[in-house]
Structure 1
Amino acid sequence: MGMESWWSKFISVRSFILLLLNATHCFSPVQSQALGQVDECSALLQFKESFAINKSVSADPLAYPKVSFWKREGDGNRSNCCSWDGVECDEDSGHVVGLNLSSSCLYGSIYSSNTLFRLVHLQRLDLSDNHFNFSQIPSRFGHDLSSLTYLNLSNSLFSGQIPSEISKLSKLSTLDLSFNYQKADDGIPLKLTKANMRSLVQNLTTIKQLHLNWVEMYFTVPDILVNASSLTSLQLGDCELNGEFPVGIFHLPNLEVLDVNGNSNLTGYFPNFNKSNVFKKLNVGATNFSGMLPASMGNLHSLNFLDISWCHFYPLIPSSLGNLTQLNYLVMNSFNDVSKGKIGEFPSFVSNLTQLEFLDLSDNEISGQIPSWLMKLTQLTSLSLDDNNLQGPIPRSLFQLKNLEYLSLSGNNLSGLVEFDQFSKLKKLKGLDLSNNMLSVGITNDLSATLPKLQTLALGFCKLQGPLPIPPQSIRFYDVENNEYTGEISPLFCNFNYLQVLELSNNHLSGMIPKCLGNSSVLKILGLHNNFFNGYIPPICPSKTSLRIVDFSYNQLQGKLPRGVMNCTQLKVLNFANNQMSDIFPSWLGALPELRILILRSNGFHGVIGKPATKHEFPKLHIIDLSNNGFSGMLPSNYLEIWNSMKYVDENRATYYEVDTDVLGGHYYRSDYAMTIRGKGVELKYERIPYHLTLIDLSSNRFEGEIPEGPIGNLRGLVLLNLSNNYLTGHIPSSLGDLAALESLDLSQNQLSGRIPSNLAQLTFLEYFNVSHNHLSGPIPLGEQFDTFQEDSYEGNSGLCGKYLPKKCEDSGSSTRPPPSIVEEDEDSVFQTALGCARSC
């Protein structure tokens, strides 16, 4: 499983909670003792009844259902609703003017008929951190609540187009529609048209805080924002913005917060800043900003948050950044365009930033040693220097950073002996990553005494030996892959109530897997790949759990696949390749709604793959590898017909398949999944799986009969198809020519006959083609990719002839060119890159 910087590359729920706390300060209703208007109190009660209470839908750990305490009292004309939790009334009129139901565990949809819109005197409304079931924002917000000055609907899972009527709320000073999208669960985002964005800015003339993070926009930032002189905070993170960012926005006189992070197609540059700028937060991370970092950035004396990570700036860092002495948060990982040079040694300006609490300089090719002056940064709670070229020992001065909670030094060339007891000096340490260095780590078997608060431990590639160290009860993430640990997994690992990631792959562990290990209700990733575990597979998911990835491949496990797996309703990856299992095809896995990758290669699975129970089996399956088993009968055409997720190219904007796990109490660790498959005639090892990768491998079984023409031709998202080494007969279906994304096609070692369809030459992304050892005849196709395939692609077919074969066709015109291509060749296509990141082994 690929490791990344586990706190620099994250989605921070903690940031959202800070926003909530900030919103609470902005929205601090005084509980008036005046009696409310009876019709408005009645409307509130009906509003309450329109929702269910679900404590799991609010992210704030202090969330509670405020409406649970609402009860009607009072006489017929007035009521006591002004004293209800979250309700604010005008002291004179008794009208409800404020409603703060943030983090109130509300679940359900808001429709235009909701009684909320009878509260026409509302001035402040906060419904953030609830779950409104992906309902659309009703246009009545703009029609009926025209007195609103504060509207916060963030992190409440609204979806669809933001209605244009929102721009009629001309009195708004704060509008927050951020984070209405569950990225990890394929949620539906909010969307905003460019015309509606312009209307918002034009009509909301007193707007101070405009927060639209994660709202899909897909347009250039409107120039009209340059005139929004009242703005103090503009947040447009992860909005799919493109084009050039209007430089005039940097000069808005009152702008303190600017956040456009995550807009990878947004270009821009920093202007010259003067001393009148009042910026406190500046975040352009993960954009396409470029150019020089101006020396005038040193004029931003109020700046306490700067993120320029994953950009394309020049590597020259002005020393004037050392003037930013108020900085608490500095993120510069991978900020520069490496083609324009390297940073060199550790940037010295950092030594002046003594108020820093969070520092991330990872992935910058910084060379030399870790400077001892880091000890001056006594406020540091988080330090990430991973994926650089740092050398030498870990300086002892680092252990004097008494406030340090997270330390990542992975992916460097650090050396020397590190006694784990040294970390006991860091009493607050919660996260430690020393993986992928040349360190010799002296570690004790019981870590509870050394690091009692430890939540995250990553020690991959540290040459560690002996039994597995036992972490403290607080552990959430435990990764010691690629070491030389031996012995069995202690049953104590079953007692860790917070453990979300257990990654023990590529060690020498043995024995039976503890039966209780698959019972955890919080474990999301269980990686035991490439060890020596034996015996029967323990129960997995005897009841519903949080498991996303289960990888037991390359062990010596026996028996059947545990039927409890069908309870793993959130499971995305199941890999039992290269074991000694014996079972029939687990058709019951088809009921898993999220399963994307199923690998059962090289076991003793056998029998006929029958018909699916319903037409909705395996709804999200993209990768299935059943190769090198004993399956028999016809190819499973009934399944091929219903694997709908393989019938199109997934347009999800994600690049690689990832799983997010909240392993650091609000900091998400983004976990890649590594996988080995056979394709293009070799073994392909993926450190990260392209999100668009779709493959079927049914090779080396005992399938017979014909390749189903219709079902196979409909799987137009396929990138790899391997049906080799079976007993297939009949013709090669011409419908394979419709698989425009196909890069690898292997039909070798069968009993196929007839001609190779000439329209296969339309497959302009086809890199590997093998039909050897069949009974094919006639001319081989010419043109496009077929001009690159060598004789070994066709050997063992005495009836074939053609330009690249020893046997030439008698009629030279019979080797016809294909019809016009079904796709235009595009050098930047995702299909060409989908397998480009795989490494041939």
Structure 2
Amino acid sequence: MVLEIVVANSFTSVQPACHDDESSALMQFKDSFAIHKSASLCDPKVLQWKSHGVNSSNCCLWNGVQCDGKTGHVIGLDLSSSCLFGSTNSNSTLFNLVHLQSLNLADNDFNSSEIPVAGEFPSGVFQLPNLRILDVSSNGNLKGYIPDFHHKSPLKELKLGGNNQLHGRVPQSLSNLMNLETLYLHSNKLNGALEFDMFFRMKSLAYLDLGRNNLSLLFSKGNKNATSSKFKLLALESCNLSEFPYFIRHQNELERLSLAKNQICCEIPKWMWKTSIDTLVSFSIEDNLLTGFLPVALPWVNLLTFGVSFNRLQGTLPIPPPSIVFYNVSNNLLSGEVPIMFCNLSSPYNLDLSNNTLDGNIPECLGNLSSTLYVLNLRNNFFKGIIPKICNNKASNLRIIDLSYNKLQGQLPRTLSNCKMLEGIVVSNNQLSDVFPSWLGSLPVLKLLILQHNGFYGVIEKPKGYIGFPELRVLDISFNNFTGELPSHYVSSWNAMKAIDPHPFTYLGVIFNFTIPKTALYQDKIRFAITITTKGVNRYYGAIQDIFAFIDMSSNKFEGEISTLFGNLTSLRSLNLSNNMLTGCIPSSLGNLTELESLDLSQNNLSGEIPQQLKQLMFLASFNVSYNKLTGPIPQGNQFSAFKSSSFEGNPGLCGDLLFKKCGDLEPSSLPPSAFEENDDLESMFKLDWKFVLVGFVSGLVVGVALGDMVIIRRHGWLVKMQCKRRRRRRYQRN
């Protein structure tokens, strides 16, 4: 046997060593910052930087550092989202890196650590002779102004946008950056008039974002350079425009165009529908003053996002190409039916037709789009007929469905139980007729269930075989025909209403991402919106904080007592059980709801006293127990002194400073509890009361009857109070 050994040639590339002066400059730059790991996602790359140890002194091996493969000079520095807290001044060792070509400091927290230049924009960075890419976007406390440019620069990308605090004017000398291809200045505090012609002189400029500042753009007509400029991105939101910029007519390579949040009036020019037919993927003219009609079909064959909401546009729905992902025509005057061609959409994420005058039936095929659709919003139109079978295919991405304020009839489609990702169902203000959808309780992430103002009916039965609605935070079943006892058997499973401040700075909503070709990842955030009735007034919430918990079971035919279990829902902000037929006492356990801001128990048959424990509700701003059978004194002090007398009217047995009826100084007589537990003792009490009436005939009718009335009222109040205690004791033993 012959053993054959084969030796393969190997080639090893050796990373050149970092220059000592550049390594030292980087370490000093690192030491000038603190590392703040905030709630946002960040990666503190500089923590890996070391000046001692095996291979650690070679800065070319450090996270975020790129060196030239031949010379070893630092040519790239990417410290985006690195938790950096502090500021960079003109003496920073960063500016010693003269070979630096790319610098990314985006998404940090450059802040006030040095005076007097605390958090100021490091204008010296533009003196780096080889810098081609600079990104300091999304630094919320970065202040200062954009410097003048009177020297040659190889700069190609300049990104200063994304919620910075840059102020002042945009210098005309920016046009000296003749190599600039990308300029992002959006979401700052830049102001003043700006002649747009300067950008036509920048022959390489293709991506321009000036939006969300306080600029006023000025356009001169007949500029010859306007026809030769080839923009791919043009974002001019909030730039005080009153008409479509005419030069856009000559743009045939546009990929993204946004003119949202201006004062553009009248009709969309016809030439717009012939612009960049093959290249445009994103079109936004939301929040303007546009009137007139949209085309029957959108002309852009590769369009992904189309937003024209909050205008005054008329006509029928324009048919999007099959490629559409985001389609928002809400808050216009569009009419007619949904064209059947919407069934041809290949992968829509958001379909928002809300707040128009659309009518007809909802196409059955829309239910088949749930495999890709995240949001379906048909709110406030005139749709009729039944709700189609949504999530008929069990593979569903649907997060929120809002069909409220229409004329829909019939039942909720049982296929909704297949929507395992569903977080919100809003079908209020329709003509639906169905029993309570307990079968939706199995949805693992359902947070909102709004059935208000419909014809739902019957007893809400105890859930069978599964936990009911574990993530529910908003439940509104008001103005229906529910009967029987309150569905307190669900309370123990409403775990999301028991946690206080889980995510104090987040909102209920949907975030979805998709990629626009040749550009970065596109992210869209849609917050849930609902209308809630408080104090008899509809209040619209355009955003709902994650900590918000709300229950409205008012205006039904519920009867029986309020369970003490409601006191376990400690994150409740609002509880409305008004206009039912509830009896018994107000549970003292409601005093545990320390986050409660609104409590409405009015127009029921509740008896007993208002629990003193409710004085613990320091955030309670709205309180109503009017038109019940409550007795005794109104609690005094804290927020109760601020409530109006109307909150207590219709309760003849109540007394207190807020009412004309004062409680007086006398307290109810103390009798042993056994006096209220045996029928014989009750009979003896009533015999005693009649003795006082008899005194009236012997010693004087007026005095005797007055004494008798006083004792009857006080003993009746005490009797109800003791009965309430006994009921609580029985409920406690039962639970």
TM-score w.r.t. structure 1 length? 0.67
Q: Which residue in 2 is equivalent to 1:656? A: 507
Out of 605, 613, 616, the position equivalent to 1:762 is 616
1:561 aligns with 2:412: yes
Deviation at 1:664, TM superposition (A): 5.6
1:406 aligns with 2:248: no
Deviation at 1:469, TM superposition (A): 2.1
Out of 240, 246, 252, the position equivalent to 1:396 is 246
Alignment of 1:374-773 (within 5 A): 375=226, 378-391=229-242, 393-427=243-277, 428-447=279-298, 450-520=299-369, 521-543=371-393, 544-613=395-464, 616-652=467-503, 654-662=505-513, 665=516, 666-679=521-534, 681-709=536-564, 711-773=565-627
Deviation at 1:669, TM superposition (A): 2.4
Instruction: Say whether the 8 Å CA contact 2:504–2:547 is kept in structure 1.
Output: no
Instruction: Say whether the 8 Å CA contact 2:48–2:62 is kept in structure 1.
Output: no
Deviations 1:774-793 (A, max 9, x none): 22223323333333221122
Deviation at 1:451, TM superposition (A): 2.3
Deviation at 1:804, TM superposition (A): 2.6
Counterpart-to-counterpart distance in 2, 1:370 and 1:806: 70
Deviations 1:618-638 (A, max 9, x none): 232221211111222222222
Counterpart-to-counterpart distance in 2, 1:785 and 1:242: 44
Query: Quick one: structure 1 residues 397 and 316, their matched pair in 2 at CA, closer, same or farther if it must change by over 3 Å?
Result: closer
Deviation at 1:688, TM superposition (A): 2.7
Query: Quick one: structure 1 residues 614 and 278, their matched pair in 2 at CA, closer, same or farther if it must change by over 3 Å?
Result: farther
Instruction: Say whether the 8 Å CA contact 1:295–1:319 is kept in structure 2.
Output: no
Query: Quick one: structure 1 residues 288 and 451, their matched pair in 2 at CA, closer, same or farther if it must change by over 3 Å?
Result: closer
2:267 partner SS: strand
Alignment of 1:348-387 (within 5 A): 350-367=199-216, 375=226, 378-387=229-238
Query: Quick one: structure 1 residues 612 and 352, their matched pair in 2 at CA, closer, same or farther if it must change by over 3 Å?
Result: farther
Counterpart-to-counterpart distance in 2, 1:596 and 1:663: 25
Deviation at 1:394, TM superposition (A): 1.0
Counterpart-to-counterpart distance in 1, 2:110 and 2:629: 51
Counterpart-to-counterpart distance in 1, 2:105 and 2:246: 38
Identity percentage over the alignment?
Answer: 38
Instruction: Say whether the 8 Å CA contact 1:661–1:668 is kept in structure 2.
Output: yes
Deviations 1:51-86 (A, max 9, x none): xxxxxxxxxxxxxxxxxxxxxxxx99999xxxxxxx
Alignment of 1:205-354 (within 5 A): 205-208=57-60, 232-237=76-81, 241=83, 243-245=85-87, 247=89, 248=92, 250-251=94-95, 253=97, 256-263=101-108, 268-273=119-124, 275-276=127-128, 278-295=130-147, 301-336=154-189, 342-345=191-194, 350-354=199-203
2:272 partner SS: helix
Counterpart-to-counterpart distance in 1, 2:142 and 2:173: 19
Instruction: Say whether the 8 Å CA contact 2:144–2:165 is kept in structure 1.
Output: no
Query: Quick one: structure 1 residues 799 and 542, their matched pair in 2 at CA, closer, same or farther if it must change by over 3 Å?
Result: same
Query: Quick one: structure 1 residues 198 and 422, their matched pair in 2 at CA, closer, same or farther if it must change by over 3 Å?
Result: closer
Write the letter of the residue equivalent to 2:276: L
Write the letter of the residue equivalent to 1:526: L
Write the letter of the residue equivalent to 1:492: M
1:475 partner SS: coil
Task: Give 1 or 2 for the bigger CA radius of gyration.
Answer: 2
1:343 partner SS: strand
2:385 partner SS: strand
Counterpart-to-counterpart distance in 2, 1:318 and 1:632: 69
2:204 partner SS: coil
Counterpart-to-counterpart distance in 1, 2:192 and 2:666: 61
* Gapped regions of structure 1 (runs ≥ 5): 1-74, 80-89, 99-122, 125-148, 150-187, 213-228, 815-841
Counterpart-to-counterpart distance in 1, 2:461 and 2:62: 56
Deviation at 1:390, TM superposition (A): 2.0
Counterpart-to-counterpart distance in 1, 2:106 and 2:217: 30
Deviation at 1:377, TM superposition (A): 7.7
Deviation at 1:230, TM superposition (A): 5.2
Deviations 1:512-533 (A, max 9, x none): 1111111112222111111111
2:456 partner SS: strand
Counterpart-to-counterpart distance in 2, 1:285 and 1:812: 71
1:670 partner SS: strand
Counterpart-to-counterpart distance in 2, 1:743 and 1:209: 56
Instruction: Say whether the 8 Å CA contact 1:208–1:231 is kept in structure 2.
Output: no
2:335 partner SS: strand
Query: Quick one: structure 1 residues 243 and 189, their matched pair in 2 at CA, closer, same or farther if it must change by over 3 Å?
Result: closer
Out of 661, 665, 670, the position equivalent to 1:807 is 661
Instruction: Say whether the 8 Å CA contact 1:770–1:793 is kept in structure 2.
Output: yes
2:241 partner SS: strand
2:226 partner SS: helix
Larger RCO of the pair (alpha carbons < 8 Å, separation 6+):
1
Write the letter of the residue equivalent to 1:413: Q
Deviation at 1:420, TM superposition (A): 4.0
Deviation at 1:813, TM superposition (A): 11
Counterpart-to-counterpart distance in 2, 1:727 and 1:76: 96
TM-score w.r.t. structure 2 length? 0.76
Query: Quick one: structure 1 residues 590 and 286, their matched pair in 2 at CA, closer, same or farther if it must change by over 3 Å?
Result: farther
Instruction: Say whether the 8 Å CA contact 1:417–1:442 is kept in structure 2.
Output: yes
Write the letter of the residue equivalent to 1:405: E
Question: Which stretch shows the higher mean deviation, 656-665 or 712-721?
Answer: 656-665
Deviation at 1:335, TM superposition (A): 0.7
Matched length: 618
Instruction: Say whether the 8 Å CA contact 1:430–1:456 is kept in structure 2.
Output: yes
Q: Which residue in 2 is equivalent to 1:16? A: none
Query: Quick one: structure 1 residues 285 and 294, their matched pair in 2 at CA, closer, same or farther if it must change by over 3 Å?
Result: closer
1:432 partner SS: strand
Counterpart-to-counterpart distance in 2, 1:257 and 1:772: 69
Deviation at 1:699, TM superposition (A): 1.3
Deviation at 1:309, TM superposition (A): 2.4
Deviation at 1:325, TM superposition (A): 3.6
Instruction: Say whether the 8 Å CA contact 2:554–2:580 is kept in structure 1.
Output: yes
Write the letter of the residue equivalent to 2:431: Q
Write the letter of the residue equivalent to 1:478: Y
Q: Which residue in 2 is equivalent to 1:120? A: none
Question: Which stretch shows the higher mean deviation, 516-525 or 681-690?
Answer: 681-690
Instruction: Say whether the 8 Å CA contact 2:200–2:226 is kept in structure 1.
Output: no
Deviation at 1:640, TM superposition (A): 1.4
Deviation at 1:597, TM superposition (A): 1.5
Write the letter of the residue equivalent to 1:271: P
Instruction: Say whether the 8 Å CA contact 1:207–1:231 is kept in structure 2.
Output: no
Counterpart-to-counterpart distance in 1, 2:61 and 2:667: 71
2:615 partner SS: helix
Deviation at 1:729, TM superposition (A): 2.1
1:631 partner SS: strand
Question: Which stretch shows the higher mean deviation, 500-509 or 366-375?
Answer: 366-375
Counterpart-to-counterpart distance in 1, 2:322 and 2:4: 57
Counterpart-to-counterpart distance in 2, 1:579 and 1:781: 41
1:493 partner SS: helix
